[in-house]
Structure 1
Amino acid sequence: MSRSFAVFFSLYMLIYGSMHVFVYFKLRSAIGRGWKWTALFILVSLAMIVGARALWLFDFGDAHTLRKVLSCSGYVWMAFIFMTFAWFVLIDMVRLLFYILDGLLSSRFGELLGSPKLRAFIAVSAALSICVYGWFEALNIRTVTITIPTAKLPRGVDRVRIAQLSDVHLGWIIQEQRLAAMLDAVKAVEPDMLVITGDLVDGDMEERQAEVALFRGLKLPHGIYAVTGNHEYHAGIGQALAFKEHAGLRVLRNEAVRAGGVILAGVDDRAARRYGHPGVPDASVLAGMPPNRFVVLLKHQPYVDSDAVGLFDLQLSGHTHGGQIWPFYWATRAVYDYRPGLRAIVPPERSGQAHAASPGRQSRIYVNNGTGTWGPPIRFLTPPEVTVIDIVRE
């Protein structure tokens, strides 16, 4: 076990375990000490806490259905505990506000949430409702269309339509049926090409012929392109790349190609460095791009290389899932400068230095909400997305 994994696992156990302890004491204040329900809660909690990690440590062989059931159970429980924890915290904050108002106004708002049973009922009911709703929201793929006018399309090409998937996370939970729904949404918009901005693979993809057949059955005029994501390095970059190649995907690894009237450039995810793969600066990949062609940069994480600003027209990224389960959205906002959607990139100021950007090239970034799920197969207020980018003649 590597040191970094040991640190991660320790933090995981501490935080996740603490949530269970907090929820237990809140429930005990509502329904009493009862040893039977206490023993059941402890057993289920231990099974779920340890089980989520054990799925990575044990070989289930050909028992794919068992692994999928255990994965869904463990990760749905994770979402339930987190939401129950969050609702108890929210209720306590409201109670504190009520007590302050009671002290200031001599009111009796505090009595509204005075019953521990009522507080537990609200928290558990709300968490269950969100999990049920979130299960179906994760299946309801929406199509988001953006149009970008440009004068950089070659003669005879009036529109290039690119479909984008991101963060599919094929593995134990997302398999053939979910992938088929995503690719059906892609087919419906009739794109010229499909790009996948990382984390397509998040598990063992050997002997996954059904998924391979789905990709190979997607006949697009200019093919399918992909870049690596951090989870593909965690799952094993060798087998992830082998699956993509077998499925007919063209993986862009710090390189650029011409496709359908635009230039696609793709860079490896920054996680590659932790696995011994040297990184290449975005600016190096983009150097020498013709100024009269529209350049699309495929990059998994929504970081912008300041030296590359002005060397590309549009960066397509993913990774954040839009938080996947609100309020994690705010956590992603704290880490990444660019939230989901289309944003203009302000060129950095360089005192005394001339920027090497192509004249008139305004760089923008689009961050996809994610098409699949990671961990809990649930989304809440962050629907899965297939993005359609129409690059049209200005």
Structure 2
Amino acid sequence: MLGVFGLVIALVVFVIFLLAKATVLKSFPELEGTPEIGKWYRITPAGTKSSDGSEWHGIFRKGNQNKVVVYFFGGGVSITGETSQGGTDFFATTMMAQDFVAQGGIGSTAEENPFKDWSFLVVPYASGDFHAGTGEYHYIKEGKDITVYHNGYNNYSSFIDKAKSYIGEPDTLLVTGFSAGGFATSLLADDVIGHFPAAKNITVCVDSSLLLYDGWHETAVDLWKAPQEISDRLVGNNLVLDSLTALHQKRGDKVKILFDCSYRDDTLLQYQAYINNGKMDNTKELGDQFQLDLKDMVESLQANIPGIGIYIWNLNADEQTHNTQHTIISSNFLDKLGNDKSICEWIYDAVNGNVQTFGLELLSEVV
């Protein structure tokens, strides 16, 4: 009887392993030679690394249209030495499960996804620096010198340089990202645009990225060691507002700018609580404050960037706190979220010259 039970357990474990390999542990093949249209690959440039020093790679899919999405992943942030030492308590430190994430949301091949035939240059996140760092943080633990690699900019730029050779010169460019990848989108959009000089139709979309912190400039300079042209833009406590404003001032109406966020983002407000009070929390009162902060941010974006598209949404609100889901383009991309358009339709309309705004009424809603 015990032998049969042991075989059943072994079979269950094996099935779980197979499911994991097909989902969270999925790993794309390394690109060698000519890429096949529609197939996902990893590209591993020399010298790139995750924050713990382990392997890092970019993710690539070649489309059959002369259009490209540069897509930054999220996964937390380090803003001080304390958070760098905290590692996985604050940010993704390895590439675990990121190949799997690439295939969802905007990266899906669903028939109704208008981006399904575009080329994708996906920038996974395992550096804690909003993809903007070139530095290292060192500390001593149990007598050992530990290095945290905030090398996000090095990873991103090496990957883009290598992947570009497979797609030529696209005429249409979408730069987007969620959470930490949304912050990266604002920080790096101008840099990305510089890699694709032939692209005349350019859209930049930031998904779910609002944190207020007076020390952004110092963090970018001293901890991440971001390139100066990136850190110099950070003059206030709102990194995305500063960066998108600078982008518009430089590029003008040649770049269409979009911003979306759930109106009481549960994850962002927890990080904001840590910034303000040194402890993550997610109370209704913190949601109320986030809602006010988001309203102020949207008004500032609209004042600084005439013609910006805004999409505010509500999904999976907690019954007690009313705090809402974090990020959308990697998951519920095709859902309408109470608005006339889905995030997918909203972005695609903007790409085609019709920039719209939805959901502002949520910012004044009393909960």
Return the TM-score normalized by structure 2: 0.31
Task: Give the number of the structure whose residues are more often helix, by fraction.
Answer: 1
Indicate the structure (1 or 2) with the bigger Cα radius of gyration: 1
